[in-house]
Structure 1
């Protein structure tokens, strides 16, 4: 893969444009605007005493539920508030049905912002600036997180955990023996490293998009990562909110850039056919063969759950990770693509406010961090509470980000983000359609 510089002069101003745009976005919203279950007035403690119990609905169960409840035990004992958590694997539909029937929980933990926006638009949720110290909260969060929960000038959810997607994993021993740099500053520098790998006779990348009916979602992440890096968060926001058409030149260009990486001769183990036919959970496995068949896989922090057991048992010695680098000539700063559970409030009273204050603070999550599989969205969370150095390194990467943005397909209408975008990525990778054709079709099918 040859070193590639940006082609469009518009990119040169991406950093300045992004900085200007974010300055306005991140300010404490005007409480006179928007609507919600609690209205626009600032809530005063004592206005509405709570009943001593708070109900919470979320999407996660099993070990995650156990770790979540463990993280609440000390708070319940100190506050005297009993928390009743209900997991629901069909959360997206259940919360809409319950809210519509007047049976909403006191607090809901949304894994994607879309459903939250639907209910906020109907006036069922209370904007967080009504009952939380918005400026204090924003000062400790990874920059840009609250923008993911913003609708018409008001923010309706605050994160209680995050997922970090912008990560590149490698087999530590083999990578270091190959002499490959572990801190590339730009994607163009990483391309030079991958050229070295190919010269050494090894495929740089392993990738897998297979996911049954959801095949293609991994491909959407590639596009989102490069939209953030090449054009910056302001253009990214315009794209995900459809203020910028899906077939705009900026988007088509990013498809072509990603195509040069994924479709380039020798860049990905097995080529495009292997990408389509390999389950995403198996993409990391070639990195840990004897010898490794590939050196790099781009995937979120959850991917460690799919590493071989012997690797997981000795993660700090076997695995290396660094942030997906910036794009030379693009956004001047390290962006992080990810996700997170957004805590939202249906019932406003003293008890629910206390629970929301705790859930969305950097004091929450110590027990979950120790159990593993959880990242705090706060830069001020004590990293020593994580159970291993790899997780601490990922947390450090996230905490050092210039800006965070939610997974774009999760922000788009379901018909696009979990439909035509997934399908279009597969057709594009297989060569059935060009970048322009795929983008044109997705734009034509965008819900009116």
Structure 2
């Protein structure tokens, strides 16, 4: 059969604390399935998977925060690996992932693979459970070196050892707008920060409210405001200072960070500039993040800073395209040549070194998986893997994000709060930025309070 094996995939669903799905490959000889349409449709070219060997009868457990509806696409992306190796993937998605993973490790019940969404969380896992987090095997190191930039490899590295490789990625340095409204008003996309501010003022002069924003997100309220500050630190202070700030090599309330927060305030604390269709400055704290840009299509606001994945929140009737109802442009730097880029993603971390686990971890770091995932995903996903075929990315804004992420013109940095200790990154940083808009707490007091919360060890 020229390196071809035919298998038919099935899915079994069971209820639990999260959603657990089991993918099983059914092998056979000849034209198994009796020539049925499903068996023919699921034929897979297994030549790229021969290196993993026959894993029939083996099971790999995966634990992640990726739940419905995105979990279905995630599971479907494993199908070629399942088809060609015979392995079973036991997938569990949980909204309590970050709280429960350390509990499972403490109890001695780790998953084989976990998708860790923050480098800071990865560092804490390695520090707290050094005997359970497994360093990446050579096959994974080779893939990481070949298919990812040094920056992305470093984000999965702790004390010089590679533990985790990137899974998905996103770009946060975007401003959503309406191309149709811009054309009607004669507005042009700004290419520098000053042009962005000039555009904001022009919208005010024309009788509009330029910006809409919301940082309410349940228990995670405040996180969208941290993205604002991180993006602006990259622009006003630069990538080197950003790294020093994130790693606490300079205080959280360093004067350069105070300046950056003041720059954010020129938009988010400006009564003329916010909060289109939602209220005053204080309304930013209570406006739901996933609904806060709803005013763009109807003209009650014009601009909304959010990542490429915000597209999932638009009404299905809206076309997301460069000449469509809504789209996004790059959040400009100080000059046209200054092109910092803020983003994030998840990392594949192993807690077992069994051969089938290593094989699956290697698959997830390969172009084969990236292309499989892109093929089954409608929008909101791409990878930093340089072997990803951009033609497989279906969403225009995801294609743009991938282009920026893989361009040498842009300087990428990972989300700062995701790299900080949990007490800060998902704690005081969120709550203090909320107080900054809700209570008009001063720039200096907000940053000093976060600095005081930084763990001493």
* Band the TM-score falls in, shorter-chain normalisation: 0.7 to 0.9
In the TM superposition, 1:251-290 aligns within 5 A as 251-268=257-274, 269=276, 270-289=279-298
Q: How many pairs are equivalent? A: 396
Structure label with greater radius of gyration: 2
State whether residues 320 and 396 of structure 2, in contact with CA within 8 Å, keep that contact through their aligned partners in structure 1.
no
Q: Select 2:358's aligned residue among 349, 353, 358.
A: 353
Give the secondary-structure state (helix, strand or coil) at the position aligned to 2:418.
helix
State whether residues 68 and 365 of structure 1, in contact with CA within 8 Å, keep that contact through their aligned partners in structure 2.
no
2:346 equivalent in structure 1: 341
In the TM superposition, 1:47-126 aligns within 5 A as 52-121=58-127, 122-123=129-130, 124-126=132-134
Q: Select 1:304's aligned residue among 286, 307, 311.
A: 311
In the alignment, structure 2 segments of 5+ residues that lack a partner are: 1-50
State whether residues 56 and 86 of structure 2, in contact with CA within 8 Å, keep that contact through their aligned partners in structure 1.
no
TM score, norm. by length of structure 2: 0.79
Superposed displacement of residue 312, structure 1: 5.2
Give the secondary-structure state (helix, strand or coil) at the position aligned to 2:366.
coil
Whether 2:246 is the aligned partner of 1:240: answer yes
Quote the RMSD (CA, aligned, Å): 2.6
Superposed displacement of residue 51, structure 1: 7.1
In the TM superposition, 1:157-306 aligns within 5 A as 157-182=164-189, 184-268=190-274, 269=276, 270-289=279-298, 292-306=299-313
2:367 equivalent in structure 1: 362
TM-aligned CA distance change 1:327 to 1:149, over 3 Å: farther
Q: Select 2:415's aligned residue among 384, 407, 427.
A: 407
Cα deviations by residue, 1:255-308 (Å, 9 ceiling, x for unpaired): 11111122234222244123223211221111011xx11211101122112212
Distance (whole Å) between structure 1 residues aligned to residue 424 and residue 100 of structure 2: 21
TM score, norm. by length of structure 1: 0.81
Pick 1 or 2: higher relative contact order, CA cutoff 8 A, min separation 6. Answer: 1
Give the secondary-structure state (helix, strand or coil) at the position aligned to 1:411.
coil
Cα deviations by residue, 1:325-379 (Å, 9 ceiling, x for unpaired): 12249xx642322221100122123322221121112221445434323221224
State whether residues 112 and 411 of structure 1, in contact with CA within 8 Å, keep that contact through their aligned partners in structure 2.
yes
Superposed displacement of residue 79, structure 1: 2.5
State whether residues 304 and 312 of structure 1, in contact with CA within 8 Å, keep that contact through their aligned partners in structure 2.
no
State whether residues 309 and 381 of structure 2, in contact with CA within 8 Å, keep that contact through their aligned partners in structure 1.
no
Distance (whole Å) between structure 2 residues aligned to residue 150 and residue 50 of structure 1: 32
Superposed displacement of residue 75, structure 1: 1.4
Whether 2:382 is the aligned partner of 1:375: answer yes
In the alignment, structure 1 segments of 5+ residues that lack a partner are: 1-44
TM-aligned CA distance change 1:214 to 1:73, over 3 Å: closer
Give the secondary-structure state (helix, strand or coil) at the position aligned to 2:302.
strand
TM-aligned CA distance change 1:424 to 1:108, over 3 Å: same
Cα deviations by residue, 1:21-65 (Å, 9 ceiling, x for unpaired): xxxxxxxxxxxxxxxxxxxxxxxx99xx99733222111122322
1:421 equivalent in structure 2: 429
